[in-house]
Structure 1
Amino acid sequence: MEKYFKRKATDQLSPPLRTDALNHGTAKRQCGEINLADLPSDPRLRTRILDYNPTVQDQVRKAYLQRGPCQPKKHNFPQMNFRNTIRRFNPTWFDEYASWLEYSIEKDAAYCLYCYLFKPNNGEQAGGDSFVGEGFKNWKKKEKLKIHVGGTYSAHNHARRMCQALLNHRQHVETFFFKQSHQDRSDYRIQLNASIDCIRYLLRQGMAFRGHDESDDSNNKGNFLELLHWYSNRNEEVKKVVLKNAPANLKLTSPDIQKDIVNAAAIETLNKIIGDVGNSLFSILIDISRKEQMAIVLRYVCKGHVIERFVGVEHVNDTTTLSLKKAIDDFFLRNKLSISRLRGQGYDGASNMRGEFNGLKTHILKENESAYYVHCFAHQLQLVLVSVAKNHIKIDDLFTLVSNLVNVVGGSSKRRDFLQEKQASKVIEALDSGEISSGRGLNQEITVKRAGETTWSSHYGTLISIINLFPSIIELLEELKVNASKIDQKHEATKLLDWLESFDFAFSLHLMKNLLGITHQLSQALQRRDQDIVNAMNLVTLSRSRRRAPKFTNLHYYQVDLFYDVIDMQLQELNSRFTETNTELLLCMACLSPLDSFSAFNKQKLIRLAQFYPKDFSENDILALEDELETYIFDMKSSSVFSGLKGISDLGEKLVETKKDRVYPLVLLARDTGTNPTCCDCLCGKSIFCYEYIEK
Structure 2
Amino acid sequence: MHRFFKRKDPEPEEQKIENVRVEEFDFSQLPTDPGLRTPICDYNANIRDQVRRAYLQKGPCQSSGYEFPKRKFGVSQCRRFNPSWFKEFGDWLEYSIEKDAAYCLYCYLFKTAKGKQAGGETFVSEGFTNWKCKDRLNIHVGQHDSEHHKARMDCEALMNQDEHIQSVLHKQSRQMRNDYRIRLNASIDCIRVLLRQGLSFRGHDETESSLNPGNFLVQLEFLGAHNKEIDDVILKNAPKNCKLTSPDIQKEIVNACAIETVNVIIRDVGDSLFSILVDESRDVSTKEQMSVVIRYVDSSGHVNERFVGIEHVASTTALSLKAAIDKMFSRYNLSMSKLRGQGFDGASNMQGKFNGLKALILKENPCAFYIHCFAHQLQLALIAVAKKNLPISNFFRVVGDVVNVVGASCKRSDILREKHSDFIVEALERGDISSGRGLNQETSLQRAGDTRWGSHYSSLISLISMFSAVSDVLEIISEDDSSSPDQKTEAFNLLESILSFDFAFNLHLMKHVLAISSELSTALQKKDQDIVNAMDLVQVCKHRLQMIRDEGWDSFLEKVYHFCEQHYIGILKMDDMFTRWAPRGRPHRNRPEVTNLHHYRVDLFYGVIDIQLQELNHRFSEAGIELLLCVACLCPQNSFVAFDKKKLMQLAEFYPQDLSRFDLLMLDDQLETYICDMRFNKAFQGLKGLGDLSEKLVMSKKNMVYPLVYKLLTLALILPVATASVERVFSAMKIVKERLRIRMSDDWMNDSLIVYVEKEIFLTIDNEAIVKRFQNMKTRKEQS
**How would you bin the TM-score normalised by the shorter chain?**
0.5 to 0.7
Match of 1:277 among 269, 275, 278: 269
Q: 2:715 aligns with which of 661, 673, 696?
A: 673
* Whole-Å separation in 1 of the counterparts to 2:358 and 2:471: 51
**Shift, 1:401, TM fit:** 1.1
Shift of 1:328: 0.7
| 1:613 equivalenced with 2:655 (yes/no) | yes
CA contact (8 A) 1:589 1:675 kept: no
Q: What residue in structure 2 maps to residue 386 of structure 1?
A: 383
Residue 626 of structure 1 is matched in structure 2 by 668
Deviates more, 1:350-359 or 1:516-525: 516-525
Matches within 5 A, 1:345-494: 345-390=342-387, 392-408=389-405, 411-415=412-416, 417-418=418-419, 421=422, 449-454=445-450, 455-460=452-457, 462-463=459-460, 481=478, 485-486=482-483, 487-494=485-492
1:307 to 293, 304, 307: 304
SS in 2 for 1:488: helix
Confirm or deny that 1:200 pairs with 2:189: no
1:118-173: CA deviation from partner (whole Å, max 9, x where unpaired): xxxxxxxxxxxxxxxxxxxxxxxxxxxxxxxxxxxxxxxxxxxxxxxxxxxxxxxx
Distance in 1 (alpha carbons) for counterparts of 2:219 and 2:425:
53
Structure number, greater radius of gyration: 2
For structure 2, the 5+ residue unaligned runs are 1-168, 554-573, 579-590, 594-598, 734-784
Contact 1:419–1:476 (8 Å) recurs in 2: no
Contact 2:343–2:722, Cα closer than 8 Å, also in 1 = no
Distance 1:254 1:475 in 2: 57
2:325 maps to amino acid: I
Give the stretch that moved more between structures: 270-279 or 509-518.
509-518
User: Residue 318 of structure 2 is aligned with which of 302, 317, 321?
Assistant: 321
Indicate whether 1:542 and 2:584 are aligned: no
2:493 alignment partner AA: K
> Using the alignment, how far apart are the partners of 1:472 and 1:235 within structure 2?
54
**Equivalent-residue separation in structure 1 for 2:728 and 2:415 (angstroms):** 43
Whole-Å separation in 2 of the counterparts to 1:441 and 1:233: 40
Distance 1:380 1:200 in 2: 38
User: Would the alpha carbon gap of residues 501 and 253 (structure 1) be closer, same or farther in structure 2, given more than 3 Å must change?
Assistant: closer
1:664 CA displacement: 0.9
> Which position in structure 2 is the counterpart of 1:254?
246
| Amino acid paired to 1:283 | S
Instruction: Judge conservation of contact 1:609–1:674 (CA < 8 Å) in 2.
Output: no
**Structure 2 Cα separation of the partners of residues 226 and 485 of structure 1:** 48
Query: Which TM-score applies when normalising by structure 1?
Result: 0.61
Q: What is the CA-CA distance between 1:418 and the residue it aligns to?
A: 4.2
Pair 1:228-2:220 in alignment: yes
- The structural deviation recorded for 1:318 is 1.9
Counterpart residue type for residue 298 of structure 2: C
Which segment is superposed worse, 211-220 or 283-292?
211-220
In the alignment, the residues of structure 1 paired with residue 224 and residue 441 of structure 2 have an alpha-carbon distance, to the nearest angstrom, of 54
**Aligned residue for 1:3?**
none
Give the counterpart of 1:218 among 200, 205, 210. 210
Identity of paired residues, percent?
53
Q: Match for residue 287 of structure 1?
A: 279
Q: Deviations over 1:295-327 (max 9, x none)?
A: 222222221332332212211112222211111
Quote the residue 1:694 is aligned against: 731
Structure 1 residues 642 and 239: alpha-carbon distance in aligned structure 2, compared to 1, 3 A threshold = farther
Query: Quick check: 387-396 or 317-326, which moved more?
Result: 387-396
Q: Retained in 1: the 8 A contact 2:203–2:213?
A: yes
Query: Is the partner of 2:291 in helix, strand or coil?
Result: strand
Return the match for 1:574 from 616, 626, 631: 616
SS in 2 for 1:298: strand
**In the aligned structure 2, how far is the partner of 1:274 from the partner of 1:447?**
44
Contact 2:478 2:488 in 1 (8 A): yes
- 2:304 touches 2:527 (CA, 8 Å); kept in 1? no
Distance change (3 Å), C-alpha of 1:278 and 1:492: same
Q: Distance in 2 between matches of 1:233 and 1:469?
A: 50
Change over 3 Å in CA distance of 1:223–1:380 after alignment to 2: same
Q: Across the two proteins, how many residue pairs are aligned to each other?
A: 510
In the alignment, residue 491 of structure 1 is paired with which amino acid? T
- Asked if structure 1 preserves the Cα contact closer than 8 Å seen for 2:525 and 2:722, the reply is no
Distance in 2, matches of 1:540 and 1:595, equals 18
| Structure 2 match to 1:297 | 293
1:337 has 2:334 as partner: yes
Paired AA for residue 492 in structure 1: E
Matched AA of 2:539: N
Aligned residues: CA RMSD: 4.6
Residues 254 and 643 (structure 1), Cα distance of their counterparts in 2 relative to 1, 3 Å cut: same
Change (3 A) 1:581 1:342: farther
TM-score normalized by the length of structure 2: 0.55
Q: Distance in 1 between matches of 2:441 and 2:218?
A: 47
Q: Is the 8 A contact 1:547 1:571 kept in 2?
A: no
Q: Hey, what's the Cα distance between the residues in 1 that align with 2:260 and 2:226?
A: 29
Post-superposition shift, 1:400?
0.8
Task: Give the Cα separation in 2 of the matches to 1:331 and 1:293.
Answer: 13
Q: CA deviation at 1:260?
A: 2.2
Deviations 1:209-251 (A, max 9, x none): 2233333343333333343344445555545544334333233
Provide structure 1 residue ranges, at least 5 long, that are not aligned to the other structure. Answer: 1-176, 685-689
Which residue type is aligned with residue 698 of structure 2?
A: V
In structure 1, how many angstroms separate the alpha carbons of the residues matched to 2:219 and 2:424?
53
Does the CA contact (< 8 Å) of 1:287 and 1:692 recur in 2?
no
Instruction: Write the mapping of 1:630-649 to structure 2, written as runs, cut at 5 A.
Output: 630-639=672-681, 642=684, 647-649=689-691
Q: 1:659 aligns with which of 680, 701, 711?
A: 701
The structure-2 alpha-carbon separation of the partners of 1:447 and 1:438, relative to structure 1 and needing over 3 Å to count, comes to same
* Partner SS for 1:317: coil
